[in-house]
A and B are shown apart, each in its own frame.
Chain A
Amino acid sequence: MSEYITPIRTYLAVFLALMALTTITVAVAFLELGPFNDIAAMGIAITKACLVVLYFMHVRHSSRLTKMVVVAGFLWLFILIAFIMSDYLTRGMISLQGPIG
């Protein structure tokens, strides 16, 4: 199997992008955006994670099987969070007050 060799240029570009995104994260923290502060912080963090996984961890030029393994990992994280939220978000939907409470 021929292995794709990432040029140093790409690594440097990704590194600079990560640094830039870090700076933006810090800058955004000083702005008053209400709920959008969290969204911006999470959005930037996810973008950075994707860059690391795709380039530094070589997933972009890996086989489809490797990509599937990566996706499975995130899918399982999603299952974990989604099902836990199915508990937390519906807890308030039942009231014990009333005839039985």
Chain B
Amino acid sequence: MSDTVTTPPRRKHYLNVDYGIKSWLLTQDHKRIAILYLISITFFFIIGGVMAALIRVELATPLGDLVEADTYNRLFTAHGVLMVFLFLIPSIPAVLGNFLIPLMIGAKDLAFPKLNLGSWYVYNLGALLMVAALLRGGTDTGWTFYTPYSSTFADSEVILTALGAFVVGFSSIMTGLNFIVTIHRMRAPGLTWFRLPLFVWAHYGTSLIQVLGTPVVAIAILLVAAERLLHIGIFDPALGGDPVLFQHLFWFYSHPAVYIMILPSMGVISELIAAFSRKRIFGYKFVAFSSLAIAVLGFLVWGHHLFVSSQSIYAGLIFSVLSMLVAVPSAVKVFNWTATLYQGSISWQTPMIYALGFIGLFVIGGLTGTMLATLGIDMHVHDTYFVVAHFHYIMVGGAIMGYLGGLHFWWPKITGRMYSVFWSKIAAGLIFVGFNLTFFPQFLLGYMGMPRRYHAYPEEFQILNVLSSAGATILGLGYLLPLIYLFWSMRYGERAGDNPWGAYGLEWETSSPPPTLNFDEPPVVTTEAYDYLSLREKKLA
């Protein structure tokens, strides 16, 4: 490339300040730790994706002709466990949050850099346990580890996998704690709470869930281990326990965990919508508080996973009503993003395509969520593909669209290079189309009564299943493309400049890639967030 000949004198930044494996493995720089996380979660996303591909190949025909029923159980369990614990939960917080929060608040690093690095090691330790379980034959309980099957009957690597989830949970707590303290204590002078980017608010809400919820699932997992190993009666009725207690303890964390996945994504979408509409987010304070409302209300709804267990119908009624309430702050966000678009100066850059895709898919995922929160409908579609479709619209259509949108938005900041705009738009389109083709038919299948977690099905379901598998192929291709062109861009991409999008925010005021201590001069904030109006006036002047 010709630009390598005319490169200006090398500026020191976080990527070239030091070389060698040790400088990475012992780094305390939040930006480098974010890259370490990026590598780890991408690895597990690929493994989890291969599991999904095998599931979709199996389901292309009604007969169980690729894998046996037992292998299929282990496949979907591995897919769920890897994707939830090793990819989705750390995805945006540990990669984008880690990289951006100190930059966005004008700090040199997170409050506890060593704890941050420690969290990555703890994550990998947990991941190692899960991989060991996988290599020893895997687990067949589903990612939910329901008792009494998991505690009494399952003849697979339940304890090893659950222990992995237990350990990974601590890395999540460490990240959350670090963010809370950082956001409280390390904001630049002048950066009041209501001047914070909404990305930071969303991560604050997420961190609260991580700190308050994760210990409960850790305890639930320990209790399963205690019952399996020591035969202490907690969940097994024969020992005087109650199996539904496990579901309560599990979902007390795992339902809010869905908000650990989606809230940071919502934070990303707020940044993208503002940047590519050139407008301040409509109703900034409402959007900021809606993140906290989702975080708090998210803790009061877990019983909607237990409607057809032996949970009391009265408790079901309460959980049903409370579940509907979460729709309110979620809708506040969607309406406010839409209102921000109104009369905005919209540009169709790749991250914006992801943001708009997110809004559409999240609305479908959210509205089908309120359907599922309705007691009567849930009786009909519980444990069917309707549920599978619903949560993939939230976790894949919502969380991953936000993650990819954010990765494309801040990639020039992270690497200093620009990727191929053409290919990135093709990939975004493929992902949107492929995603809908994969998961929309599953709504229909579920409504028609196809249960989840079976490797064979009646013939009348084949057409929709083939459509779904075809969609998964397109989706897979859509995910493969960014992997290629983002890698390519690190070496061959054009130099991006400090603020290629003309976006507003402290992270765009420093150079790309940023120096190790983020800012050459400590920033002082004098304006509101997303003050695009003054940016435009400055340009005109």
Residues of B within 8 A of A65 (CB): 184
Mark contacts of B290-320 with chain A using CB atoms, 8 A cut-off: 1 yes-contact digit, 0 otherwise: 0000000001101100100011111100110
Q: Assuming the A-B contacts A79-B300, A80-B252, are A86 and B212 also in contact, with contact meaning beta carbons closer than 8 angstroms in the complex?
A: no
User: Given A72-B212, A73-B212, A76-B212: A87 and B299 within 8 A (CB)?
Assistant: no
Q: Contact: A86 with B184, CB < 8 Å? A: no
Tell whether A94 pairs with B312 under 8 Å between CB atoms, given A84-B245, A86-B318, A87-B303.
yes
Give bound CA distance, A84 to B306, whole Å.
11
Kindly report which residue of chain A lies nearest to residue B301, judged by CB atoms. Answer: A83
- Contacting residues, chain A, for B303 (C-beta < 8 A): 83, 87
- A-B pairs with beta carbons under 8 A, tally: 46
A87–B212 CB distance below 8 A: no
Q: Which residues of A contact B184 (CB under 8 A)?
A: 65
Q: Say if the beta carbon of A64 comes within 8 Å of chain B.
A: no
Task: Please give the distance in Å from A49's CB to the nearest CB on chain B.
Answer: 16
A80 CB contacts on chain B under 8 angstroms: 216, 248-249, 252
CB pair B314–A76 under 8 Å, yes or no, is: no
Q: Is A97 an interface residue (CB 8 A)?
A: no
Query: B331 an interface residue at 8 Å Cβ cutoff?
Result: no
Contacts of B244 in A (CB 8 A): 87
- Per the bound structure, the CA–CA distance linking A83 and B305 in Å amounts to 14
**Cα–Cα distance between A73 and B173 once the two chains are bound (Å):** 14
Most chain A beta carbons < 10 A, residue from B216, B299, B311, B315:
B315
Q: What are the interface flags for A52-91 relative to B under an 8 Å C-beta threshold, 1 for contact and 0 otherwise? A: 0000000000000100000011001001100110111111
Q: With a CB–CB cut-off of 8 A, which chain B residues contact A86?
A: 312, 314-315, 318
A80 to B310, CA, bound (A): 18
Distance from A28 Cβ to chain B, minimum over Cβ atoms (Å):
25
Measured CA separation A54–B345 after assembly (Å) = 55
CA distance A93 to B245 in the complex (A): 19
What chain A residues lie within 8 Å of B310 (beta carbons)?
Answer: 91
A87 pairs with B300, CB closer than 8 A: no
- Report A6 CB to chain B, min CB distance, Å: 23
Against A, the Cβ 8 Å flags (1 = close, 0 = not) of B94-128 are 00000000000000000000000000000000000
Q: Which chain A positions have C-beta within 8 A of B216?
A: 80
Interface residues contributed by chain A, number (CB under 8 Å): 16
User: Do the beta carbons of A76 and B299 come within 8 Å of each other?
Assistant: yes
Select B312's contact among A72, A76, A79, A93, beta carbons within 8 Å: A93
Q: Is the CB of B313 within 8 A of A94?
A: yes
Which range contains the number of B residues in contact with the other chain? 20 to 34
Contact of A91 among B212, B245, B312 (CB under 8 A): B312
Q: Is A87 within 8 A of B311, CB to CB?
A: yes
A91 CA to B244 CA in the complex, in Å?
A: 12
Given A65-B184, A72-B212, A73-B212 in contact, is the A83-B312 Cβ separation under 8 Å? no
A72 to B216, CA, bound (A): 14
In the bound assembly, the distance between CA atoms of A87 and B212 in angstroms comes to 22
Interchain nearest-CB distance for B255 vs A (Å): 12
**Closest CB in chain B relative to A92 CB, distance in Å:** 8
> Are A83 and B315 in contact, with the CB atoms below 8 A?
yes
List A contacts of B312 (CB < 8 A).
86-91, 93-94
Which B residues are CB-close (under 8 A) to A89?
A: 312
Which B residues touch A87, using CB under 8 A?
244, 248, 303, 306, 311-312, 315
Residues on B with C-beta less than 8 A from A73 are: 212
Q: Are A83 and B300 in contact (CB under 8 A)?
A: yes
Chain B hits for A76, CB < 8 A: 212-213, 299
A89 to B313, CA, bound (A): 11
Closest to B180 in A: A69
A72→B248 CA distance, assembly (Å): 20
Which residue of A65, A84, A93 has the most chain B CB atoms within 10 A of its CB atom? A84
A93–B314 contact, CB under 8 A?
Answer: yes
A88→B314 CA distance, assembly (Å) = 10
User: A76–B298 Cα gap in the complex (Å)?
Assistant: 12
Closest A residue by C-beta to B184: A65
For residue A72, which residue of chain B has the nearest CB?
B212
Considering the complex, give the chain B residue whose CB is closest to the CB of A65: B184
Residue interface bits B274-300, CB-to-A below 8 A is 1, else 0: 000000000000000000000000011
Nearest Cβ on chain B to A101's Cβ, whole angstroms: 14
B248: which A residues are within 8 A, CB to CB?
A: 80, 83-84, 87
Known: A79-B299, A79-B300, A84-B245. A90 touches B314 (CB 8 A): yes
Question: With the chains together, A87 CA to B318 CA distance in Å?
Answer: 10
Query: Cα distance A65–B213 when bound, in Å?
Result: 19
Q: How far is the CA of A76 from the CA of B245 in the complex (A)?
A: 17
Interface residues of B in 351-410 (CB under 8 A from A): none
A83 proximity list for chain B (CB < 8 A): 248, 300, 302-303, 315, 318-319
In the bound complex, CA of A90 to CA of B314 (Å): 7
Chain A contacts for B249, CB-based, 8 A: 80
Across the interface, name the chain A residue whose C-beta is closest to B213.
A76
**Residues of chain A within 8 A of B302, CB atoms compared:** 83
Contacts of A90 in B (CB 8 A): 312-315
A79 to B303, CA, bound (A): 12
A88 to B309, CA, bound (A): 12
Residues in A with CB closer than 8 Å to B299 are 76, 79
CA–CA, A24 and B147, complex, Å: 38
User: How far, in Å, is B489 (CB) from chain A's closest CB?
Assistant: 42
Q: Can you give 7 A-B contacts (C-beta < 8 A)?
A: A73-B212, A80-B252, A84-B248, A88-B312, A90-B312, A91-B311, A91-B312
A residues with a Cβ closer than 8 A to B are 65, 72-73, 76, 79-80, 83-84, 86-91, 93-94
Given contacts A76-B212, A91-B310, 4 further A-B contacts (CB under 8 A): A79-B300, A83-B315, A87-B312, A88-B312
